[in-house]
């Protein structure tokens, strides 16, 4: 499969005598001669001075296009070290995140492991709570020092990272992760009453989320009162909640946004001058809250998960105000994901989500603003302003969350972090989850050094926590795809399914943004799929198949990514210890004790704890002296095919391409490189003679060497003239033993379809002949 857009239009090599020139431009250069270089080394040593953006690509100092891939480090950063399920919510002021994702004493082990696996581009998770949990303007200096010490180690392992301030459902105290508790209290919420009043689901914070009853409930928190209100006032409090102010009459929006930006300034100053930190991401998976809410009586089934008790916005207002309310309850179903099956009476204890001594004086914030009220005559709640969150309450002008609220704040954030660190930092941004890149993201709304970093998960498998031969393109169905086109069978089918979804997201981004790099900030698979049967059988074949299909889709679109997630705290039973999720394909409990480990790139000792490494640890072109055109890795054989082209304009500052080829795959095997040449044009009766001819022609085109200690295949083409297209196949010998069949519908059912067709045709022929005989008999 070719790249989604024409690469030659997005990459221009600019001649600059000040640019460093790679030694591979010298005529006598031998591949791999630079001993400090290896394919997945993103430090200044391995890149000639660092990574930057050029067109829609990441490039190193020599102008080589870089394929960045790695992990999210880590899911355990969502919760503090001293979090306990039983005591939640504990005193929010005394939490500590020092040691997240792991203690400094364990850094050598984990960074060495990621280097061996070629996962050296990290999305490093930090939460607002971790930095500023004690109160506004009180920053955890011990945690910031820990971050400095940990991240300063990255270049030693060839690792680069960008810092992502993470959130889900606003905060741990509203059922997710991210913001400190005092932000929730500043709006007037009572932390002790949020769950009983129906304003949040906190079962996952208390260790739940694993049973069928509460599995997958946490995303519904976005629709509940607490998280929806926090999202609304953070982004649009000045418009929708102008009566809510804090000390000295500061609006709630300005209070929260200024605190967030100040926190970011402190964070950027703490780590922004470290070599290993190449950029920042403002916030994970932003959510608009109630803004653009089309109805007070329901949420949009196509965009908002309906599972368990789902109060409408209007019902959530009533619940938070202390009124017991009967709400629709949804369960899993087929073919639609869920269906309403019953009603549940919530808040029978008449608990109020709002503190009597808070800024709203115990009144619902939205009742205070006249969105709804209580009719004493009828003794029931009534909606007073149905379109309140769609239009500006005063001007009546429609409010667009992206244009009016998100883009302006994104620019403020960019200015703050760049002035607090350096102007060359790369800024990673993303839209609301599961949305295509908005067409409104035009040039005036972009930030400097921008990378578009959406997320992708297979929603069908994620929702059902299952994976088999049958897969569904939920993305396509939600956008009107003809249902039969959205169903796929077999491994070839799921590869095509995932590839189409990923390519569509990538292409839609380039349609809106043009030559802006795309990198998938999150993508992953549930390890506890199929009822966790692999933890018992130790056969993770379905996890391997799903991971292979996903990374194959990313490879086909030629985009980098951060896998979710590498979590040392993961266990089979408790998963990632957050809302019942279990995505980490590494578990420290399964690894060798660190005192037994060796730490070289070739050390198989580091592989302990990895569960599906066959699918995760794969070859990939890391630094390409030209423009990548196509790349494919076949997990069933260990073979790659890769093609690239020398740019038409400018002059390359390097001729050497570096491909990560893992020791996990090559240990005990030979690497065979062949030029992509159609040998059918030559007339050879002897297969050995044809093989010798291909070898000779490959040697005429390329010099190459493989260094297993650096896990790198170094290739230098002998013709680097502009416009020259290169193509190679790389095999391992002996070949990899296939783990499963590359099946599809026709390979599995083709013979039966053919049999049915033959029978049907036979019956039709018999009917026609019989009818003809009868007709002619009467004629």
3-state secondary structure of 604: helix
Q: How far apart are CA 310 and CA 222, in angstroms?
A: 11
The yes-or-no answer on residue 419 being catalytic is no
In 241-390, where does DSSP find H-type helix?
252-271, 313-320, 365-368
Give 657's DSSP letter: E
Identified catalytic residue from 129, 196, 285, 508: 285
What span, in angstroms and rounded, lies between the C-alpha atoms of 221 and 177? 11
Crossing angle for the helix pair 252-271 and 141-151, to the nearest 10 degrees: 40
By three-state DSSP, how is residue 171 classified?
strand
**The CA-based dihedral angle spanning residues 114, 117, 121, 123, taken in that order and rounded to the nearest 10 degrees:** -60
Through-space distance between the first and last CA atoms of the chain, rounded to whole angstroms: 60
Is 149 an active-site residue?
A: no
Rounded Cα distance between 233 and 277, Å, is 31
Alpha carbons 443 and 139: distance in angstroms, whole number: 35
Distance CA(767)–CA(763), nearest Å, equals 6
Provide the CB-side half-sphere exposure for 137 (13 A, CA): 2
State how far the Cα of 449 lies from the Cα of 167, in Å rounded to an integer. Answer: 23
| C-alpha span between 356 and 775 (Å, rounded) | 91
Helix axes 490-513, 541-556, angle to 10 degrees: 40
Helix axes 541-556 and 529-537, enclosed angle (nearest 10):
120
Q: How far is CA 52 from the centre of its chain?
A: 21
The answer to whether the beta carbons of residues 165 and 128 sit under 8 Å apart is yes
CA angle in degrees (0–180, nearest 5) for 277-280-283: 145
Dihedral of CA atoms 286, 290, 291, 296 in degrees, nearest 10, equals 150
Rounded to an integer, what distance in angstroms lies between the CA atom of residue 601 and that of residue 114? 9
Query: Of 129, 132, 430, 522, which one is the catalytic site residue?
Result: 522
The answer to whether 121 and 155 have CB atoms below 8 angstroms apart is no
Nearest to 501 by CA among 447, 458, 440: 458
Question: With the CA atoms of 744, 750, 756 and 759 taken in that order, what torsion angle do they form, in degrees rounded to the nearest 10?
Answer: 170
How buried is 318 (Cβ within 10 angstroms: 0-12 exposed, 13-18 middle, 19+ buried)?
buried
- What's the CA gap between 476 and 478, in Å, rounded? 5
CA distance 221 to 305: 9
Residues labelled catalytic: 285, 522
């Amino acid at each position: 499969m070719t790249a989604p857009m024409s690469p030659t239009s997005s990459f221009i090599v600019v001649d600059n005598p000040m640019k460093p020139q790679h030694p591979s431009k010298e005529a006598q250069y031998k591949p791999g001669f630079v001993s400090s270089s290896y394919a997945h080394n993103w430090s200044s040593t391995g890149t000639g001075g660092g990574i930057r953006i050029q067109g829609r690509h990441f490039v190193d100092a020599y102008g080589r296009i870089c394929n960045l891939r790695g992990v999210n480090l880590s899911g355990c950063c969502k919760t503090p070290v001293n979090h306990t399920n039983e005591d939640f919510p504990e005193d929010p002021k005394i939490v500590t995140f020092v040691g997240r994702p792991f203690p400094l004493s364990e850094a050598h082990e984990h960074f060495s492991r990621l280097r061996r696996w070629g996962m050296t581009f990290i999305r490093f998770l930090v939460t607002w709570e971790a930095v500023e949990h004690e109160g506004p303007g009180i920053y955890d200096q011990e945690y910031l020092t820990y971050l400095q010490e940990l991240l300063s180690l990255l270049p030693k392992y060839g690792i680069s990272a960008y810092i992502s301030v993470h959130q889900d459902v606003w905060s741990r105290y509203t059922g997710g992760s991210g913001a400190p508790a005092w932000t929730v209290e500043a709006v007037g919420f009572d932390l002790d009453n949020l769950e009983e009043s129906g304003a949040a689901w906190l079962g996952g914070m208390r260790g739940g989320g694993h049973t069928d009853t509460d599995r997958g409930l946490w995303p519904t928190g976005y629709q509940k009162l607490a998280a929806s209100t926090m999202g609304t006032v953070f982004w649009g409090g000045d418009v929708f909640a102008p009566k809510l102010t804090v000390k000295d009459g500061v609006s709630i929006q300005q209070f929260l946004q200024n605190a967030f930006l100040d926190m970011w300034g402190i964070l950027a100053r703490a780590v922004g001058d470290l070599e290993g930190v190449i950029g920042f991401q403002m916030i994970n998976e932003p959510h608009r809250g109630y803004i653009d809410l089309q109805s007070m009586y329901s949420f949009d089934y196509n965009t908002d998960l309906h599972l368990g008790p789902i109060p409408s916005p209007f019902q959530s207002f009533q619940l938070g105000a202390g009124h017991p309310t009967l709400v629709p309850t949804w369960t899993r179903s087929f073919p639609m994901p869920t269906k309403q099956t019953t009603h549940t009476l919530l808040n029978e204890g008449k608990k109020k989500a709002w503190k009597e001594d808070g800024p709203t004086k115990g009144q619902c914030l939205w009742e205070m603003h006249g969105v709804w009220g209580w009719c004493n005559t009828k003794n029931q709640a009534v909606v007073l302003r149905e379109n309140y969150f769609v239009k500006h309450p005063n001007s009546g002008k429609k409010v667009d969350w992206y244009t009016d609220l998100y883009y302006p704040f994104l620019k403020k954030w960019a200015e703050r972090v760049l002035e607090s660190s350096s102007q060359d930092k790369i800024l990673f941004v993303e839209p609301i989850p599961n949305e295509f890149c908005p067409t409104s993201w035009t040039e005036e709304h972009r930030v400097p050094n921008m990378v578009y970093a959406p997320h992708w998960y297979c929603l069908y498998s994620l929702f059902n926590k299952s994976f088999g031969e049958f897969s569904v393109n939920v993305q396509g169905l939600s956008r009107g795809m003809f249902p039969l086109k959205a169903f796929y069978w077999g491994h070839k089918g799921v590869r095509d399914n995932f590839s189409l979804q990923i390519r569509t997201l990538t292409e839609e981004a380039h349609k809106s943004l043009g030559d802006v790099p795309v990198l998938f900030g999150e993508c992953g698979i549930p390890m506890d799929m199929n009822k966790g049967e692999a933890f018992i059988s130790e056969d993770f074949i379905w996890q391997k198949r799903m991971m292979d299909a996903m990374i194959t889709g990313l490879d086909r679109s030629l985009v980098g990514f951060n896998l979710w997630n590498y979590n040392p705290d993961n266990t089979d039973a408790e998963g990632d210890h957050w809302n019942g999720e279990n995505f980490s394909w590494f578990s420290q409990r399964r690894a060798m004790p660190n005192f037994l480990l060796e730490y070289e790139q070739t050390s198989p000792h580091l592989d302990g704890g990895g569960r599906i490494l066959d699918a995760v640890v794969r070859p990939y072109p890391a630094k390409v002296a030209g423009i990548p055109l196509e790349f494919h890795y076949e997990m069933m054989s260990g073979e790659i095919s890769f093609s690239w082209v020398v740019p038409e304009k400018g002059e390359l500052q390097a001729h050497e391409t570096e491909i990560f080829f893992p020791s996990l795959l090559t240990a005990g095997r030979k690497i065979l490189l062949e030029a992509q040449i159609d040998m059918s044009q030559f007339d050879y009766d002897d297969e050995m003679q044809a093989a010798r001819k291909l070898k000779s022609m490959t040697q005429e085109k390329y010099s190459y060497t493989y260094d297993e200690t650096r896990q790198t295949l170094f290739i230098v083409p002998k013709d680097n003239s502009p416009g020259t297209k290169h193509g190679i196949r790389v095999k391992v010998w002996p070949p990899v033993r296939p783990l499963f069949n590359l099946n599809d519908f026709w390979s599995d059912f083709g013979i039966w379809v053919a049999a049915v067709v033959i029978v049907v045709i036979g019956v039709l022929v018999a009917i026609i002949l019989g009818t003809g005989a009868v007709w002619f008999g009467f004629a």
